[in-house]
Amino acid sequence: MEVIEKIRELLKNRKWAVFMTVCGTAGLLLIMISSLLPDKKAAPAVNAERQSVCDSAAYCKDTEKRLEAFLSEIDGAGEVRVYLTVGSEQRYVYATEGRHSRSDNKTEEEEKYVIVGGGSEKNALIETVEAPEITGAVIVCGGGGDAAVREQIYKAAAAALGIPTAKIYVAKIR
C-alpha cells in the first residue's frame, strides 16, 4: 500500500509532471535528430570495394601457390616459382529483368536492374561474381633449361590458367 500511495503523491506533484513532459519532448527531439544524421551503412560500401581488391590479390596469390604445387609434380621440374599478372579485378554481374514488346514496325526493349531491400537499404541483386582475369604467367623452375620439361610446363600452365602459351614465359631458376 505504501508504494501506491507514493505513486499517487508523485502524480499530484506538479514538478513530476513537468519532468515527465520534458523527458518525453527530449526523447522525441532525439528521434527526429537521428533521422537527419547520415547513414553509417554508406561507409561499408567503400570497405566492400577495398575488400574486393584484397580478395583479388588473395585470389592471385592463392592461384600462384596452387599452380606452383601442381607444376612441381611434373617430372624434372624441380623447384617451381610462379608470378601471375591480372588484367582486371573481381567483377560483379547484376541481375536484370527485361520487357520486350513488338508491334508492326517497332521493337521495344527495356531492361532494369533487380533491386532488393527497402527504405534506404536498396541494392542491386548480384547474380554472379567473376574471378579476376589472369592475363599472363612467368614460371621459373629447376628444369626450365630442358626443352621437354619446359614444353610440359607451358602446356600444363596454359590448361590450368585457360590462357594461350604465348602469354606464358618459362625460364630456368638460378
pLDDT per position in the chain (174 positions), as tens? Answer: 787 887 777 777 777 677 778 888 998 888 888 877 766 554 444 444 444 445 678 888 999 999 999 999 999 999 999 999 888 777 778 888 877 777 778 887 788 877 887 777 778 888 887 778 888 999 999 988 999 999 999 999 999 999 999 999 999 988
Assess whether 20 and 82 both reside in one domain: no
CA gap 54, 56 in Å, rounded: 5
CA distances from 107 to 104, 110, 146 (A): 8, 10, 61
When divided into structural domains, the chain yields a total of: 3
Assess whether 108 and 173 both reside in one domain: no
Residue with C-alpha cell 629447376? 142
Assess whether 86 and 139 both reside in one domain: yes
Assess whether 101 and 169 both reside in one domain: no
The pLDDT of residue 42 is 44
Assess whether 63 and 75 both reside in one domain: yes
The SS3 call for residue 143 is: coil
CATH number for position 138? 3.30.300.30
What's the pTM value of the predicted model, to 2 decimals? 0.54
Assess whether 124 and 140 both reside in one domain: no
The pLDDT of residue 9 is 75
Assess whether 164 and 85 both reside in one domain: yes
Assess whether 73 and 98 both reside in one domain: no
Whole domain around residue 20: which residue ranges? 2-36
CA gap 56, 87 in Å, rounded: 11
The pLDDT of residue 39 is 60
Q: Taking the mean position of all CA atoms in its chain, how far away is CA 117?
A: 18
Assess whether 137 and 166 both reside in one domain: yes
Assess whether 60 and 86 both reside in one domain: yes
**C-beta separation of 144 from 138 below 8 A:** no
The pLDDT of residue 160 is 92
Assess whether 48 and 86 both reside in one domain: yes
The pLDDT of residue 136 is 92
Assess whether 32 and 46 both reside in one domain: no
